[in-house]
Structure 1
Amino acid sequence: MLISSWGFVPHRHLHAKAWSALPVQLRHALGNDPTPLISRATDADSRKHTDSLESPRHFIDLDDAATEGLQLWGQSWADAKRVLIQRDSSLSSNRYGILPWQLEWSYKHLVNSWSPKDSTEPDLDRVIRAAADLGHYLSDAHVPLHTSGNYDGQRTGQRGIHALWETHTVEWLLYRRDLKACGKIDALSMPYDPVWTPWEVIQESHALVPEILAAERTWTTLCAKRGQGFQRRGRTMHLAPTSSSLAIWDSLTNGHTWPRYCIAAQRIAAAWHSAWLDAGRPLGQSRSRTTWRQKLALYLPKRWSNWLLTDPNRP
């Protein structure tokens, strides 16, 4: 499964929104500058192209496992792996994905990064990488199609539904001026359990899969003639859903995408905060200040960001 999650821009916006909810001491423990954390928000997706073990960390196919009579929900990885191997030892134990367990491991990795066993000072770069990965995997758990073997509608003649839900729709929502803000996000107000919260999130996501598949069939019929238009992405033009067709899609899915996005940001902040508490509230070290150019470059196409950062004549 090499389908990307949320999309390049939404992942970074999620990390930025989660950062805004953190208390001052926790921000200091993350270097007191959100730029490195936001820039690493998509590292986990990038690793899919170089690490064959990365892809299963982003999903869990609950429906495929259930079809095989395997009930994985809530099990420890040791128990789940034993069941999977007993069923067919010739297949990888990662074949249905390992997202909930990866979230548990990533959480522990962040805690350990903040509190090294040799009592040395935390390595800030290691902490930021760990926090960015935890946020990325937790974001993916909020995407319904990351919980299904039919993740891109390939089994039901609905290819492209993955990008429709988590990239096209989210990017369209992010730039709508009439959209209500997520509201106040507070890392302290939401409890986060590193073992059970991932399963609860995945259960919420999986419950939306039938609604999404049904909505796509109706949407395809309604928008068959004028649902697509050419849009520029980087240096190329490509066909993508139009704003009007995305408004129809959002209505057909009962507007659940934006609330899902907002709760993802809330839980990312809660996970970082909980890991920080478990690590003993380390203070961390501040980085040098990031310039406005470096911050802006995070949200620009590569050719524009390179120009912004390298042209000495820019103000």
Structure 2
Amino acid sequence: MLRLNSDDLTNYICAMKIYFNRFFVFICCAIVIVSLCSWGFYAHQTATQLAVYKLPKCVRLFFFSNMDTIAITSIRPDKRRYIDRNEGPKHFIDIENYGNGAMLYMPRDVQPAVEKYTWDTLKKYGFVPYQVLIEYDSLVNALKRSNADSIVFYAVDLAHYIEDACVPLHTTNNYDGQLTGQKGLHALWESTIPELELSHYNLHSKHKAAYIKNKGETIWTAVRRAHALLPEMFEKEKEVAKNFPDSSKYEERMYYGRKTKVYTDAFAKQYAAALTTTVNDQLNYSANLVADFWYSAWVDAGKPNLKHLYKFNRSERKGLRKELRDYRKNDLLQDGLLRAHKED
């Protein structure tokens, strides 16, 4: 039998305390991320996949050859939040905390913003539009080097942050409705509703990737568009809530062994109906924007020839044609071609 002296026992107890404290923090972070993850894993994967179809052929073939990786790993930045405390602020911007008129007057580029506010302030209140520009530069550099793995890596991360910038509740300090008595609104709008309603969405748009001349202004336009949707989001929730007592408005679900209060599916469906096409529109808008940024990065990298970075056999080319037809007919989900649906 192992015997421990008093010093060994003290060290052992301290080590166990540290272990359990870290484990507790991990579980808490996991619960927060599940409830506040941007767009929800399902919608992120869908938007990123849709962006590929909007690219011109010279770029699309490379992205399609990596479609599974691109779509499924589009949730990677959210998962990084489990282990990296610096990851969180990259996903949002609490615009109210930057002062009156900040939406219109904040610098459009990264360095001027750092000089005006400091990195500490940006990390405190969020800086998603600037993170988009940082990831964009990384993607351009990867394309210039024709490094396939790096291109996929930075394209995926860039897509994720662009999609986050298109989520209304990622642009406000009332990010979960907690300031207006509507706690849980975050997961309701961007996770529960898309998962419940996706079969009714139009996932096709006629948009074709176009070059973005002013990247800073473009991503800030997306942030302003998302922020402008907030009043309706909050008001519609209050209107629908009039028809639901708390017993049918909320339910408890288990996340990582802990009970969490969430909106019921019945409430979510009525709230989605009240919002009409808002969530669908933002999903498509974010996919269009991702395609534009990807294409622009390729142009700014000097339009490198990507043909040597992928191989297509006859079956794969046939698969691409099938997906493009289904995309145009809005049949991707029906035919089981959504990567997010496959993973489920």
TM-score scaled by length of structure 2: 0.73
Tell me which residue corresponds to 1:99.
Answer: 128
Of the three residues 223, 226, 231, the one matched with 1:205 is 226
1:75 Cα deviation from its structure 2 partner: 3.9
User: Which consecutive residues of structure 2, in runs of 5 or more, have no partner in the other structure?
Assistant: 1-31, 320-336
Q: Secondary structure at the match of 1:53?
A: coil
Of the three residues 82, 87, 97, the one matched with 1:49 is 82
Of the three residues 195, 207, 220, the one matched with 2:241 is 220
C-alpha spacing 1:148/1:191, structure 2 compared with 1 (3 Å): same
Tell me which residue corresponds to 2:324.
Answer: none
1:233 Cα deviation from its structure 2 partner: 9.7
| Post-superposition CA distance 1:106-140 (Å, at most 9, x none) | 11111100003xxxxx2211110100011100001
C-alpha spacing 1:296/1:271, structure 2 compared with 1 (3 Å): closer
Question: Are 1:35 and 2:68 an aligned pair?
Answer: yes
Of the three residues 107, 110, 115, the one matched with 2:144 is 115
Tell me which residue corresponds to 1:22.
Answer: 55
1:227 Cα deviation from its structure 2 partner: 4.1
| Post-superposition CA distance 1:232-282 (Å, at most 9, x none) | 999999876555533321233343111111111111111111111111222
Q: Could you tell which deviates more after superposition, 107-116 or 69-78?
A: 69-78
| Post-superposition CA distance 1:24-80 (Å, at most 9, x none) | 210234372311111210111111111111111111111122269897534433332
Question: Are 1:259 and 2:281 an aligned pair?
Answer: yes
Q: Secondary structure at the match of 2:204?
A: coil
Tell me which residue corresponds to 2:17.
Answer: none
Q: Secondary structure at the match of 1:95?
A: helix
Aligned residues: 288
Q: Secondary structure at the match of 1:79?
A: helix
CA–CA distance in structure 1, aligned partners of residues 178 and 62 of structure 2: 43
1:95 Cα deviation from its structure 2 partner: 1.2
CA–CA distance in structure 1, aligned partners of residues 164 and 242 of structure 2: 28
2:52 touches 2:63 (CA, 8 Å); kept in 1? no
Question: Are 1:128 and 2:164 an aligned pair?
Answer: no
1:39 touches 1:298 (CA, 8 Å); kept in 2? yes
Tell me which residue corresponds to 1:8.
Answer: 41
| Percent of aligned positions that are identical | 27
Q: Secondary structure at the match of 2:155?
A: helix
2:253 touches 2:260 (CA, 8 Å); kept in 1? yes
Tell me which residue corresponds to 1:159.
Answer: 183
Of the three residues 122, 125, 138, the one matched with 2:162 is 138
User: Which consecutive residues of structure 1, in runs of 5 or more, have no partner in the other structure?
Assistant: 117-121, 303-315
2:184 touches 2:262 (CA, 8 Å); kept in 1? no
Q: Secondary structure at the match of 2:125?
A: coil
Letter of the structure 2 residue corresponding to residue 62 of structure 1: I
C-alpha spacing 1:266/1:75, structure 2 compared with 1 (3 Å): closer
State the superposition RMSD in angstroms: 3.4
CA–CA distance in structure 2, aligned partners of residues 264 and 93 of structure 1: 23
Tell me which residue corresponds to 1:286.
Answer: 310
CA–CA distance in structure 2, aligned partners of residues 18 and 93 of structure 1: 29
Q: Could you tell which deviates more after superposition, 27-36 or 275-284?
A: 27-36
Letter of the structure 1 residue corresponding to residue 128 of structure 2: L
1:22 Cα deviation from its structure 2 partner: 1.6
C-alpha spacing 1:233/1:35, structure 2 compared with 1 (3 Å): farther
C-alpha spacing 1:235/1:25, structure 2 compared with 1 (3 Å): farther
Of the three residues 176, 181, 193, the one matched with 2:214 is 193
| Post-superposition CA distance 1:141-164 (Å, at most 9, x none) | 110000001101122221100011
Letter of the structure 1 residue corresponding to residue 111 of structure 2: A
Of the three residues 117, 120, 128, the one matched with 1:84 is 117
1:111 touches 1:275 (CA, 8 Å); kept in 2? yes
Tell me which residue corresponds to 1:182.
Answer: 204
User: Which is higher, the Rg of structure 1 or of structure 2?
Assistant: 2
Q: Could you tell which deviates more after superposition, 71-80 or 96-105?
A: 71-80
C-alpha spacing 1:241/1:154, structure 2 compared with 1 (3 Å): closer
